[in-house]
Chain A
């Protein structure tokens, strides 16, 4: 095990076959931003057999080839971003699997899933906040909306770069070709102060746009542009489990007569 384990963790639960492509990227970015670790619970197809006796005995696992491929891909990305993570591929029922992980892995701060239905199922069982992440769709009530990721598929802004570059060049040429005239009025002071201030604003917009497009053209862009609009989630209600243990209720009367009644059998003792 390498790296420093983060105190808090994000549990990511997904049934989707495209888990690594969408959910992993989003969850990794979130973990990186928050400094949290990741616990990836990948619910695979039913029927997988345990491959390592004594280890995944509680889980019905994915075939080893698929699990290894998934793990290797995620490890590469997480390593690049210095994210501490665990990968738990299994095919157990989602709610139970999440409950077990939350009990065994301390410090789960919140849970991410890519389905509203799964969110409801998980929220009914655990009390940890659950968020559903919708990809490239309109934000739904109670979910997170992920903005479009800055990627390499965008068209290169060649035209805009050239246009703003020419504008900037023209501005430079106008100032430096008429240096004497410019300096005469720009350093006059008083109300003429508006000239250098306005010139700087105009130049900044033109050259700023050129610079922005130039970096985009060179492929240097922000890594992620995530705008997660978190909606307030109501606290998950814990499902009341039937208590199978016999309960004894002590009834104490003020006159020191103590009688114990078994509620189920309705018998009084004492």
Chain B
């Protein structure tokens, strides 16, 4: 431990670094408060771009993530959106998923080295985000339906109908489902969190489409899972002395403002808006991670791109990741501003005279 610590250099902070981290923290918090996840995947590379060592960046990111999730979960609990029981049940299996993810990462690192590990992470990013994000986005735009009450998806309905003890009733989520069907969703959440640092990209859609939970409850409950996973990981990193408390406090300064605003925003929008934001961010970030792949292919000797090309593509990758987060924030704020306007642009009301006709 002491050898690791002596090798780690904690950066000197200047005004630019502070402002950058505060703003990114705010936007990340805004997105997290709204869709239950996100933001963290920008902060780690963002900190590293400021010269923060990788392990310190990951540790500090995680140490900011769990209190942000705690505040966001509390806020949304007050709005009646959090199912604590569901969150804790999912967190239990997510913890196992995290351990499995870490072991898998170590295996890949041993077999193919750092470049291979980075390539594995990027390919995982692209595969999961394109498939899941694409489906979430398509679902949000085409049908604007959710899987709650009258709109339960076919798979969720089928799984809920299977009586496989132990059956659990989740009151706030208003579903009754076998515990066994929550295990793969929670496990996948933890696995993805350990792989790409954002478990919610599988956890939230999993709760919506596999278990039949509404978008509001799924995104809110994800914050409980994020808190549990983040807390455990943070304690682990803190015991290794990897947490830079200065970075954590600066990021928290912005993210605690943003997460509460995001949570408030959920009370102004319809449920499918959560899917729109989530799908948009996921697809843009998928492009971003796709742009990072050439670098790793070069390092593995699979391709031989020009160094200048790789550098350019790497920068595009980072900026597009920031754009993804920014786009999500703009959509959220735009939806909130529109919902707060006193006059509506469109009238959705139906005249009784026009609709019922002569009686």
Beyond A35-B270, A196-B243, A197-B235, whether A52 also contacts B353 by CB under 8 A is yes
> Would you call B150 and A8 a contact (CB within 8 A)?
yes
Q: Which of B149, B248, B267, B268 contacts A200 (CB 8 A)?
A: B248
A200 to B224 Cα, complex, angstroms: 17
* Chain A interface category by residue count: 35 or more
Residues 76-121 (chain A) with a chain B CB within 8 angstroms: 76, 78-89, 104, 109
Residues of B within 8 Å of A, CB-based: how many?
Answer: 64
- B149 CB contact (under 8 Å) in A32, A34, A79: A34
Within the complex, what minimum Cβ distance (angstroms) separates A8 from chain B? 6
Tell which of B64, B238, B253 touches A193, judged by Cβ atoms closer than 8 Å.
B238
Task: Name 16 A/B residue pairs within 8 A (Cβ), A-sorted.
Answer: A2-B346, A2-B348, A57-B358, A75-B347, A85-B348, A85-B349, A88-B352, A187-B5, A189-B1, A189-B241, A204-B68, A204-B70, A208-B67, A208-B74, A211-B71, A214-B257
A109→B68 CA distance, assembly (Å): 39
A9 CB to nearest B CB, Å: 11
Q: Which residue from chain B places its CB closest to the CB of A199 in the assembled complex?
A: B245
B253 contacts A207, CB within 8 Å? Answer: yes
Does B260 touch A at the CB level, under 8 Å?
yes
Give me the interface of A with B, judged by CB distance under 8 Å.
1-3, 5, 7-8, 32, 34-35, 52, 54-59, 71, 74-76, 78-89, 104, 109, 168, 171-172, 175-176, 179, 182-183, 186-190, 192-194, 196-197, 199-201, 203-204, 207-208, 211-212, 214-215, 220-227
Asked whether A200 lies within 8 Å of B252 as measured between CB atoms, the reply is yes
Chain B neighbourhood of A186, CB < 8 A: 243, 245
Complex A-B, nearest 8 residue pairs according to Cβ-Cβ distance, in ascending order: A189-B241, A193-B238, A79-B344, A3-B348, A204-B67, A80-B344, A75-B349, A79-B347
One of B64, B70, B261, B348 near A79 (C-beta < 8 A): B348
Chain B residue at smallest Cβ distance from A183: B10
Which residues of the other chain, B, contact A32 by a CB distance below 8 angstroms? 270
Given contacts A193-B235, A200-B67, A200-B252, contact A79 B349 (CB under 8 A): yes
Asked if B343 CB lies within 8 Å of chain A CBs, one says yes
CB distance from A92 to the nearest CB of B (A): 12
Interface string of B248-267 (1 = CB under 8 A from A): 11001100110011011001
**Is the CB–CB distance between A215 and B261 below 8 Å?**
yes
Q: Which residues of the other chain, A, contact B249 by a CB distance below 8 angstroms?
A: 171-172, 175, 199-200, 203
B239, CB-defined interface residue at 8 Å: yes
| Given contact pairs A85-B349, A196-B243, A220 touches B261 in the complex (Cβ within 8 A) | yes
| Closest-CB distance, A90 to chain B (whole angstroms) | 10
Q: With a CB–CB cut-off of 8 A, which chain B residues contact A171?
A: 249
* A contact residues around B260 at 8 Å (CB): 208, 211-212, 215
A76-B344 contact in complex given A7-B150, A172-B249, C-beta closer than 8 Å: yes
Complex CA distance for A190 and B149, rounded to whole angstroms: 49
- A200 and B256 contact, CB distance less than 8 A: no
Q: Mark B325-359, 1 if CB is under 8 A from A, else 0.
A: 00000000000000101111011111111111111
Are A227 and B80 in contact, with the CB atoms below 8 A? yes
B239 touches A196 (CB 8 A): no
CA distance A84 to B348 in the complex (A): 5
Nearest to B145 among chain A residues (CB) is A35
Asked if B314 is at the interface of the complex by the 8 Å CB criterion, the answer is no
* CB contact under 8 A between A189 and B353, given known A196-B63, A200-B248: no
Are the C-beta atoms of A196 and B264 separated by less than 8 Å? Answer: no
Q: Are B270 and A203 in contact (CB under 8 A)?
A: no
